[in-house]
Amino acid sequence: MKGGGGAYSMMPMKKRWSWLVIAVLGLVLLSMFVPLAFLLGLHNGFHSVTHSGQRDSASSRSGAALKSPLIKEGLPKHVNGILRNPGPTLPKDFRRHSVKETENKTTGFAVPTQVLNPPPKKHSVGVGSSTEGPKTAQVIGQNEKTCELKFGSYCLWRQQHREKMKDFIVEKMKDQLYMARAYYPSVAKLTNLELFTQEIKQSIQEFERILSESSSDTDLPPQIDKKLQKMETTITKAKAAVVDCNNVDKKLRQLVDLTEDEANFHMKQSAFLYQLAVQTTPKSLHCLSMRLTVEYFKTSPDDADLSESLSNPDLHHYVMFSNNVLASSVVINSTVMHAKDSKKQVFHVLTDKQSFFSMKMWFFTNSYKDATVQVLNIEDLDLLEGQPSTHISMPQELRISFLSASTSRTEYISVFSHLHYSLPRIFPTLKKIVILDDDIVVQWDLSELWNVDMNEKVIGAVQFCMVKLGAIKSYLGKESYDADSCMWMSGLNVVDLVRWRERNVTRTFQGLVQRRLTETTTLGATMLTFQGLLFALDDKWVLSGLGHNYGITKESINKAFVLHFNGNMKPWLELGIPNYKIHWRKFLNQEIRFLTDCNVNP
């Protein structure tokens, strides 16, 4: 019984082993066929890392185009046409109504913006929690319009600095690699062409290796001409092979789609780096601020007794909000250099706590003829009815784009911040002041502004009729206004503080903000606050656009009394427009020790 029982128990054991052997053999066969199938039909290229998911998505995006039949006789011309003109390579998914951001002029903080004048029957603002302001455009073509709509003045800068391609051999290699990748999957499916398939594969891999190490003709290895000739011969053989034209067309479209995605990625990356460059403080200026701060605490300079001149209403008082030492210095220096009597000039520089000590040290060690300079820390002032002035933003700058089928343009509007509405409280003894932005250069004696009869108006400014109030109606709410009246900008503004107090302008502004606007939205509130209180200065006083407009003539610059560098390309940045930076740089004394130590060379 024991022996019979043992023989009976061995039978299922043998069956289980036989099934295991069959499963192992099946796995071995699968491990052999899967790589073979992958090489013959699924491999779409020889990148260092292959993402099949990307290829599938690219194929699905081009699915509509694949429905049209391809004529076999015209394959080479059709293929070459696609390679020469692959269609739009810049953003396919841009939205004309998406909420964007532009930078705070002096601090670099982002300010939400929105395109004005959207296409008819489309009024959605897009995704975002706040509203205000705008964009950039130049008539170069539809792709360039959408680029500037998306990325602002970066596209203007890119057009101006675009270099001609000099690496002819590298570009030719890329074209050949493009063509070889298109033909390889179709050739690999053909029988009796294994050696030729291996030849194409090796050529593709060799070109990929060379291009990964070389970005210019000078980096290419020796005997590259022979490699080019070999690849050209290989492509000619591939064209002569009898392949499915639909497969070649599909592969070409996949490559085009992937190229568009790659170009879009690099465009966004470049635009981000550009915005980072224009919104952050350069390393040299940060070094300068730190060195001045350290020097201030090392020397502890005593403040001179300037109380009499600072509160004397008979002198010419200029007010400026800034945390940029160089910018404020150039504004004061250019103003003083053109003044007939610098003794009557008093400058009040309002800055934040972080820049206060560096500003104090700079203006303590540098003199500006006989002018008086006072530096105030806004965080130490009691500005808003007993509330401390912490977290109050500096002056803001917004960009507004007008895009249509025929024309496109962009304007940068600099507006008052909340701080400006505290000026009557900061200077209770003064009757009249001139407000200067820190991105201007003065080319004329500003003392004439004190002789201007403002006809009982509160503020004097140069009108900016390129933008009318009707264009920003979404920011003006249900308040009454003249849609055809011109806008105006900060930069150079004459303010009658007596009339300001009589009209209670500050309370009007605060009421508008509390009723319908967010904390950072000042464009609409400012325009409504000064409606009917604006005195239009002559256009010769201010020439704006030097921070974004490449088309300003030398004649216009020489005639202007004040140059306003509104826009992203400030003159103290490396990205500033070179033809205009010279007018700013000549008022900067570059022989100062601190500038040399920090390698400041704007």
pLDDT category, 589, cuts 50, 70, 90?
confident
At a CB cut-off of 8 Å and minimum separation 6, what does 102 contact?
110, 111, 113, 133, 134, 152, 397, 398, 399, 568
Tally of CB atoms within 10 A around 275: 20
Q: Which residue has the higher pLDDT, 65 or 225?
A: 225
pLDDT category, 14, cuts 50, 70, 90?
low
Q: Which residue has the higher pLDDT, 106 or 28?
A: 28
Indicate the range of 25-39, 289-303, 372-386, 466-480 predicted with least confidence.
25-39
Q: What is the mean pLDDT of residues 442-448?
A: 95
Asked if 454 and 494 touch (Cβ cutoff 8 Å), the reply is yes
Query: What pLDDT sits at residue 163?
Result: 63
At a CB cut-off of 8 Å and minimum separation 6, what does 210 contact?
173, 220, 221, 224, 227
At a CB cut-off of 8 Å and minimum separation 6, what does 131 contact?
99, 112, 114, 125, 474, 475, 518, 521
pLDDT category, 148, cuts 50, 70, 90?
low
Q: What is the mean pLDDT of residues 160-187?
A: 79
Q: Which residue has the higher pLDDT, 148 or 337?
A: 337
| Chain segment 84-104, per-residue pLDDT in tens | 444 443 333 333 333 333 434
Most confident option among 157-171, 316-330, 389-403: 316-330
Query: What pLDDT sits at residue 146?
Result: 63
Q: What is the mean pLDDT of residues 494-517?
A: 88
Angle in degrees, CA 573, 576, 579, rounded to 5: 140
Q: What is the mean pLDDT of residues 159-168?
A: 68
Query: What pLDDT sits at residue 85?
Result: 46
At a CB cut-off of 8 Å and minimum separation 6, what does 123 contact?
97
Indicate the range of 244-253, 484-493, 558-567 predicted with least confidence.
244-253
- Nearest-angstrom CA–CA distance, 118 and 24: 65
Structural domains in the chain, CATH included, are 283-589 (3.90.550.10)
Q: Which residue has the higher pLDDT, 444 or 2?
A: 444
pLDDT surpasses 90 at 560: yes
The percent of residues above 90 in pLDDT, for the chain, comes to: 34
pLDDT surpasses 80 at 64: no
pLDDT category, 245, cuts 50, 70, 90?
confident
| Chain segment 262-312, per-residue pLDDT in tens | 878 878 888 888 888 888 888 999 999 999 999 999 988 887 777 788 989
Indicate the range of 186-190, 399-403, 436-440 predicted with least confidence.
399-403
Q: What is the mean pLDDT of residues 66-78?
A: 40
pLDDT surpasses 80 at 57: no
User: Which of 277, 234, 360 is CA-nearest to residue 570?
Assistant: 277
pLDDT surpasses 80 at 446: yes
Asked if 357 and 292 touch (Cβ cutoff 8 Å), the reply is yes
Asked if 155 and 147 touch (Cβ cutoff 8 Å), the reply is yes
- Nearest-angstrom CA–CA distance, 84 and 79: 9
pLDDT surpasses 90 at 459: yes
Phi, psi angles (nearest 5°) of residue 201? -60, -45
Query: What pLDDT sits at residue 249?
Result: 78
pLDDT category, 177, cuts 50, 70, 90?
confident
| Chain segment 404-416, per-residue pLDDT in tens | 666 677 888 899 9
Q: Which residue has the higher pLDDT, 591 or 6?
A: 591
Query: What pLDDT sits at residue 393?
Result: 62
pLDDT category, 486, cuts 50, 70, 90?
very high
Map residue 202 onto helix, strand or coil. helix
Q: Where are the beta strands (DSSP E) in 137-264?
A: none
Query: What pLDDT sits at residue 562?
Result: 97
Q: Which residue has the higher pLDDT, 312 or 403?
A: 312
- Nearest-angstrom CA–CA distance, 352 and 349: 10
pLDDT surpasses 80 at 34: no
- Nearest-angstrom CA–CA distance, 316 and 332: 13
- Nearest-angstrom CA–CA distance, 166 and 217: 8
| DSSP assignment letter at 321 | E
- Nearest-angstrom CA–CA distance, 268 and 274: 10
